[in-house]
Structure 1
Amino acid sequence: MPDTVLSLRPADAEPPEGTDSSLPTLKAFTVLRAISTSTRPVGVSELAVLLGMPKATVHRIVRMLEREGLLERPEGGRRYASGGRLLGFAFDIVASSVRNAPRHAILEAVSRRVGETCNLGIMAQGCVLYIDRVEAAWPFGLRFEIGSRVPLHCTAIGKLFLGSLPPARLEAVLEATPLDRYTDNTITDPDRLRAELDRIREDGVSVDNQEFLAGVVCVAVPVTGSDGTMAAGLAVSAPNARLSLKQALQHAPALREAAAHLSAMMRAEGE
């Protein structure tokens, strides 16, 4: 997964008509935009060069944004990434419109087709964040709200994201993330998890065989963004008493078809 290339106006270029680049609010917004569009944490010196700002100014802005919870330093390092409050703002924007968005209709169609709950999740702050969900029309359902966060190492969508990471970044995530046990089936051994991720990369489909919730199985496939990298995971989940893992895997073609539609939609939005 290559780092995002930031295309920013040079320091000596004229600001766009009708704007004032000296406004503190716009400077803070520029810093937020640079960090939120990068696929990795960014340091103050790098930001100063990219944005054409004095290093002292960038340092003051990022410290202020960190105090407000809009930025954070992963593992207490010296580089900055999107903070929980900024992600919360982004989620609020998505949640306010997602019910009427075409992609929600795709999830509804998948849920009707397979007869089970369908989820769409992204990776945020070391976990899976559900950004949309359609519950199955059964008396017994899996009651996760949009905005719920679940672990990476023991969920189908989470393992898809782990499998999509470059080797160095994967090792950094595994080193920083405790592989907590949630059920008897949770994979807590790093070597076993690496082997599972190798299989996922080869098959293009991930499973949660009662690894996060006892009695619940899940199958997920990737949704790619406009740059061709994994942007989200599309999954179907159900109680094992109603749908075995073998039966759930039979729905993989329907998930891939829906994921292809979602991917095409994301590419169109990115053009």
Structure 2
Amino acid sequence: MRVGAGRAKAGAQPNQSLIDGITVLQALATSTEPVGCRELARRVDLETTRVNRLLKTLTYLGIARQTSDRKYGPGSGMTVLAAQSLFASGLLRRALPALEGLRRFGHTVAMGVLWRDNVSYLFHAPPNMPETDALGRIGLYPATRGGIGMALLAALDDLEVEETYASHDIPGYADLPTLLTALNEVRAQGYVRLRVKDEREQHTVAITIGKPVYAAIGLSGWIPTAAMPEMLDALHEAARKIGESGDVRGVQLDLADPALDYRVAV
């Protein structure tokens, strides 16, 4: 579905060409295999000729690459952008100690960020999974289907939610008013408790991080009502640690620092 500029936020002057380019870039990034121009245009609801021009531009920049059968996939430039942004933000580096501390409960531990109507899980670790395997192992997941997504959606105002879900189905909800009612309940209680597996009585409990909100963390497993105070205390403590570590800037590297010099990189 094409995503338009929508309601301009304070001071914003949306550029539709840039929006379309990022839409194509994101669709390419989440494709599990090379995809043709027509198919990609169908996925993002844009004209084929426009998508073709955008793909050729991304290929020229090295962000996309064209295969021998004229399909497109992520290029090395996309990997570089991902690595650079993770390094610069420091979010994962700051969050990992706190997330590891939550694993003592024996539940799945996760951290995610919102992208339009989906959640991207930066960390998703079932019990006993090595920390390194938990990084970026899950693709985009519908925000309304999970506790982390609902926590992040509740941080938006109703108009933003309406624009996000305008003119298309809402996974798990019959209509927009039903979703807005659920989000108001989340806002009122300050956290999400979402049943995720009926047959095993499993729930996800999630809260947001930051003011303004930029991510959410959660625990998922058999979490009875009696265990909620302990789970919430642990989540709030983890969120506090992640947030506080983000307020303190680490060692800043000069552009001439060897750590940033590709000539001495391994």
Query: Shorter-chain TM-score category?
Result: 0.5 to 0.7
Partner of 1:265: 245
Q: Residues 57-72 of structure 1 correspond to what in structure 2 (within 5 A)? A: 62=18, 65=21, 69=25
CA deviation after TM superposition for structure 1 residue 119, in Å: 0.4
Partner of 1:192: 178
Structure 1 residues 106 and 191: CA distance shift in structure 2, 3 A: same
CA deviation after TM superposition for structure 1 residue 223, in Å: 0.4
CA distance in 1, matches of 2:78, 2:228: 32
Aligned mate of 2:112, from 121, 125, 144: 121
CA deviation after TM superposition for structure 1 residue 71, in Å: 9.2
CA deviation after TM superposition for structure 1 residue 70, in Å: 6.6
- 1:146 equivalent to 2:136? Answer yes
Structure 1 residues 165 and 127: CA distance shift in structure 2, 3 A: same
Aligned mate of 1:110, from 102, 106, 109: 102
The 4+ residue runs of structure 1 with deviation greater than 4 A are 2-5, 62-68, 70-77, 83-100, 211-215
**AA partner of residue 223 (structure 1):** I
CA distance in 2, matches of 1:157, 1:41: 30
Residues 205 and 219, structure 1, Cα contact 8 Å, conserved in 2: yes
More helix by share: 2
- 1:137 equivalent to 2:134? Answer no
CA deviation after TM superposition for structure 1 residue 175, in Å: 1.9
State the aligned residue count: 201
- 1:43 equivalent to 2:15? Answer yes
Residues 95 and 131, structure 1, Cα contact 8 Å, conserved in 2: no
Question: What percentage of aligned pairs have identical amino acids?
Answer: 15
CA RMSD of aligned residues (A): 4.5
Structure 1 residues 116 and 63: CA distance shift in structure 2, 3 A: closer
CA distance in 2, matches of 1:88, 1:235: 27
CA deviation after TM superposition for structure 1 residue 133, in Å: 2.9
Aligned mate of 1:174, from 165, 171, 189: 165
Structure 1 residues 100 and 207: CA distance shift in structure 2, 3 A: closer
Residues 223 and 233, structure 1, Cα contact 8 Å, conserved in 2: yes
Structure 2 runs not aligned, ≥5 long? 1-7, 29-40, 48-62, 65-73, 253-266
Q: Deviations over 1:45-80 (max 9, x none)?
A: xxxxxxxxxxxxxx6xx5995697379998759xxx
Aligned mate of 2:188, from 199, 202, 213: 202
Structure 1 runs not aligned, ≥5 long? 6-39, 45-58, 78-82, 181-185
